[in-house]
Amino acid sequence: MTRRLIVMRHAKSSWGSATCPDHERPLNDRGRNDAPRVGAALVERGWVPDLVLSSDAQRTRETFAGLSEAFPGEVEARFLSSFYLAGPGAAAGEVSEVAGDVACLLLLGHNPGWESLVEELSGEDIIMKTATAALLAMDLEDWGGAIQPGKWTLKDVIYAREL
C-alpha cells in the first residue's frame, strides 16, 4: 500500500509578548491566514490526512485548527509533548505506532527537527519556512517500518507564501 506522509512546520507565530513562554506562543495574523490556505492546498492535491500527530504547543494547535477548516470532514489530531521542539527520533517512536488503516499521516511540528526529518526520509534538503508542508510517499505494509532513511519520495512541497 502506498503510504503518504505530510511533514509540516507550524504557521507563523507571534513574538509580540516577551513574557509569553515559547510553548504558549500563538499564531500571528499571517499564521492564522496561512494555515487554512495550506489546508485547502492539501485538499486540492488529494492529501487529506487520516490522522494528525502534532506538537502540543499553542502555535501547532492553532495551525491544526486552521488547516482543518479546509478538510472535508473531521480529522483526528493527537497533541504530543514529545513533538515539542523534537526531530526524527520523536517522530520514529510515534509513527511506528500508527494504525494500519491510516493511509495519509500528517506530522505537525517545529524546526530544525522537521527539516532534518524530511532530509533523513527523502534525502532531499528543503527549507521549511513557517507553514511549509513536505509531501512524501512510500510503499509500506504498515507504519511500523516507516522511518527508513532515504526510502521516501518527496512528491511536492507546499509553501504558504506561494499560495
Q: Are 134 and 8 in contact (CB under 8 A)?
A: yes
Q: Tell the residue number behind the cell numbers 499521516, with chain if given.
A: 105
DSSP label at 24? G
Q: What is the pLDDT of residue 17?
A: 66
Locate 32 and state its grid cell: 492564522
How many domains are contained in the chain? 1
Neighbours of 142 (CB within 10 A): 14
Angle, vertex CA 34, rays to CA 101 and CA 129, nearest 5: 85
Q: What is the pLDDT of residue 88?
A: 87
The model's pTM = 0.96
pLDDT in tens, the chain (163 residues): 999 999 999 999 987 766 778 788 899 999 999 999 999 999 999 999 999 999 999 999 999 999 999 999 999 999 999 999 888 889 999 999 999 999 999 999 999 999 999 999 999 999 999 999 999 999 999 999 899 999 999 999 999 999 9
Q: Which domain holds residue 123?
A: 2-162
Q: What CATH number has the domain bearing residue 57?
A: 3.40.50.1240
